[in-house]
Amino acid sequence: MNYLKVYCNLIRKAEKRGYTKKKAKEQGLYVEGHHTFPKSIYGKNRRIVYLTAREHYIAHTLLEKICIRRYGLNHWKTKKMIKAHINMISVNGKMRNYNNSILYEKCRIRFSQQMSGSGNHMYGRKQSEDLIKYLRNRNFSEETKTKMSIKRKQRITKQSTKQLTSKSCEKYIYKVISPTNEEFIITNVRKFCRENNLDCSSMVKVSKGKLKKYKGWFIEKVGIVKK
């Protein structure tokens, strides 16, 4: 199967349909925004189409298959698309009991309905006119402004000092082993966890020996960054 051709046809169909969130809602439809050129690979761009939940799921399935065929399983672009696909079929890192596009779409529609109208915790709430006027017109005295400025500067200084003096994980060299036995040498744990959809605090616990592994990942300190 030519996955790229199928993907392009799906995108052209969506572009021709010309849905926006507003237009779809007027027709009683649920749609999700999708970057034709994924942000994780091409960066921020305005090439966005609106797909049904089922189409959105299929699009990410196709993108993964396209990258595997074109670049191979271990290429960084493939890894990005695999993670994007996983995000479509998982909740908080845990796999759903199904990864069927039709069931996924029905689930997303039910969730959207739950969060609309009275299902939304802010539904029907209205701030009092007195509070609105107060928030619009409140003026701080010069003395209060000075105090607020001093406190803000103290807080920023305190945070900066804490970052400089704390033994942060970024001062060390780490060896990371993935669930598929791939090895990585890193110095910035937070960045690595962010890029791989991992919980930084759990990975740090593994590095300190408090946990054996986290989601199949292993990490250990192997050196110190020389200044």
The amino acid sitting at 18 is G
Q: What 3-state DSSP class applies to 42? A: helix
Top-level class of domain 169-224 = mainly alpha
Domain ranges of the chain: 3-118, 169-224
Predicted local confidence at residue 38, as pLDDT: 93
The amino acid sitting at 71 is Y
Segment (H or E) for 221: strand 218-224
Q: Which residues of 64-85 are buried (b: 16+ CB within 10 A; e: fewer)?
A: bbbbbeeeeeeeebbbbbbebb
Reading the chain (227 residues) residue by residue, the pLDDT tens digits are 899 999 999 999 999 999 998 899 888 889 999 999 999 998 888 899 999 988 998 999 899 889 989 998 888 898 888 888 877 776 555 555 556 677 667 666 766 765 676 656 666 677 777 777 777 777 778 888 888 888 888 887 776 666 555 544 457 889 999 988 888 988 888 889 988 888 888 899 999 888 889 989 999 988 887 65
DSSP 169: G
Span between the terminal Cα atoms of the chain, in Å = 53
Q: At which residue do the structure tokens 């807080």 appear? A: 155
